[in-house]
Chains A and B, each alone.
Chain A
Amino acid sequence: MSGTSTGQLPDHSLDSFGDAAASATRVTPGNALRPEDIALQQTAPADDAVARYALHLGDDALILAQRLSHWISRGPELEEDVALGNIALDQLGHARSFLSYAGKAWGQTEDDLAYFREEEDFTSLHLVEQPNGDFAETMVRGLFMALYQHQLYTRLVHSADETIAAISAKALKEVDYHLEHAELWTLRLGRGTEESAHRMRRALDKLWPYTAELFQDEPLHDELEGVAVRPSTLRAEWDEQLLDILDRSELAVPEVPAALCWGRRGEHSEHLGYILAEMQVLARKHPGATW
């Protein structure tokens, strides 16, 4: 409890808090690859295409994290506040790593990219931009994304780009848990009560249209043989795993048409403008400030 003498250098003042051993930013345990490590490393993406690809991955994770974080203090039980907070935090970590890496190609930081890009410069999928809705919608969106990211990162572990491979390896371990969480809730809600099953069917109807975009190939993927995964190649396995989970949950794929979405090209849902307005407001009010 002894106070800090004013003669000390300001940074040493933090020692008076007792737990000066680690940075508060070490939110993930162990020596896992952290966004700070990516920011410090010298390697920049080999070219603009690699950076743009990293941006796709980062933007999906960032917007999903932003959406999920809204559940903290609003979950159906405290355990879910913790679980959804965990998933949001993991996604934010992945986003920070991918954005830090992408930014190196353009001399920009993760924060330059997150806070000072315009809506049309974001490349997120429409699915992650969808509102949280009720818990069923959040779980269906979570299931779709967890299955997708799980397959994607499983393949990206072998990417020719070492940084993308390393970030994916770390992300994969975490997404493994996200998938387990989403699958368990799909089972519980699908087979729980009449009401929960009804809400799940409604959520599937509502969100299914946005799944087609997950598997849409873009000209960018043609430039990244061996580095990127061609999204269309993930579809068959995704469908198979999803059907299996829905089947066990006594749910089915709804018969609704796929929506035309071009988030990768900067054409977003109406929701993204609001998401960014909220996320960016403070940073933009104080341009050039550090926090």
Chain B
Amino acid sequence: MAEQKSSGGHLAAVRTPEDIAGQRRFEAIIADDSRIEPRDWMPEAYRKSLTRQMSQHAHSEIIGMQPEANWITRAPSLKRKAILMAKVQDEAGHGLYLYSATETLGTDRDTLNNQLLTGRAKYSSIFNYPARTWADMGAIGWLVDGAAIANQVPLCRASYGPYGRAMVRICKEESFHQRQGFEILLELSRGTEAQRKMAQDAINRFYAPALMMFGPSDQDSPNSQQSMAWNIKRFSNDDLRQRFVGMIVEQVKVLGLSLPDPDLRYDEESGQWLHMDLDWDEFKRVVSGGGPCNSQRLARRREAHEDGAWVREAAAAFARKQQNEKNQHDQKAEVA
């Protein structure tokens, strides 16, 4: 992750007049809460930070397809199969817009993909947990997509234009995804004893990892402050987590199920939801590659990439042939 490229620091000493004017303009845009567009001057650190955040987001969409794709062939009804297929396909689409939006910052998709495949780039650690039962399709939709929405809705106003616009589109589809997840759990909760158990078990397993999706507490989150100053991030990790807990605590009642949190209560005085301590050691372990499925998820992505190499080469070779034929045809036409 830590690329030792020369940026900031000593280079700041040799700034050109364009840089100085650009910096001034950038600061004015941020102060005005307007949008930075791809051709605008931006500080290298802003570009780098956004590239990291947006590509991680894209990678999360792509890796996140796997736990759900795991259940497409076994979905218990044809309607559920169709919905799940559409959902996983949407995620590929989200990955595509996000890679395109990231490319506007000057890093191409092949490079980003390579960072993922070589393990240099991160993705949301929740996808390193296995989707063991059908109810996990419900819990992932409700809790994981729900947490993602809570995180992403404020990103629709992110200062970088292409990111904000991609988020608007993605959030619309995500709210659909959350709804279908909730519907799966609702159906299970009204079903047989075995189905209810399956639903509760999935909530038990995904609750804490979903809360950890918001990231460490604000005092332990090094990037948060700068990101807020740049109007990329609008709320702190803890604020977003609070908001999310407040939402699911009501929704779980409709399911007639419970959240696996003995400490969960609303504190009137602070106006805050108090929840159990989260296991940040586990979080760190999973982020650094030690989750139940990290190895499997990356291996699957690499395999798809390697198995597809000959297909991509053939498509490129065919495109070149087409171009050559067209050129020859055009030349003949000129001679004639």
Contact = CB atoms under 8 A, between A and B. Distances in A.
B311 A196 contact: yes
Identify whether the interface residues of A are mostly helix, strand, loop, or mixed.
helix
Nearest to B72: A69
Interface in B194-232: 194-195
A25 B304 contact: no
How big is chain A's contact interface, by range? 35 or more
Interface stretch (B20-28, B241-249, B277-285): B241-249
A114 interface: yes
Contacts of B264: none
Interface stretch (B3-11, B42-50, B75-83): B75-83
Interface stretch (B31-39, B159-167, B181-189): B181-189
Contact of B78 (A20, A79, A114): A114
Contacts of B122: none
B314 A195 contact: yes
B52 interface: no
A236 interface: no
Given A78-B62, A111-B78, A282-B134, A27 B308 contact: no
Interface string A121-144: 000000000000011000000000
A92 B304 contact: no
Interface size class of B (residues with CB under 8 A): 35 or more
A3 B251 contact: yes
Contacts of B246: 1, 3
A289 interface: yes
B191 interface: yes
B79 A199 contact: no
A111 B77 contact: yes
Contact of B254 (A6, A92, A281, A283): A6
Interface in A199-255: 199
B300 A74 contact: yes
Given A82-B92, A89-B89, A27 B82 contact: yes
14 contacts: A4-B251, A5-B250, A19-B175, A24-B180, A89-B82, A93-B82, A134-B307, A193-B310, A195-B310, A279-B73, A281-B74, A286-B191, A286-B195, A289-B194
Interface of A: 1, 3-6, 10, 13-14, 16-20, 24-25, 27, 35-36, 62, 66, 69-70, 72-82, 85-86, 88-89, 92-93, 95-96, 99, 110-111, 114-115, 134-135, 187-189, 191-193, 195-196, 199, 278-279, 281-283, 286, 288-291
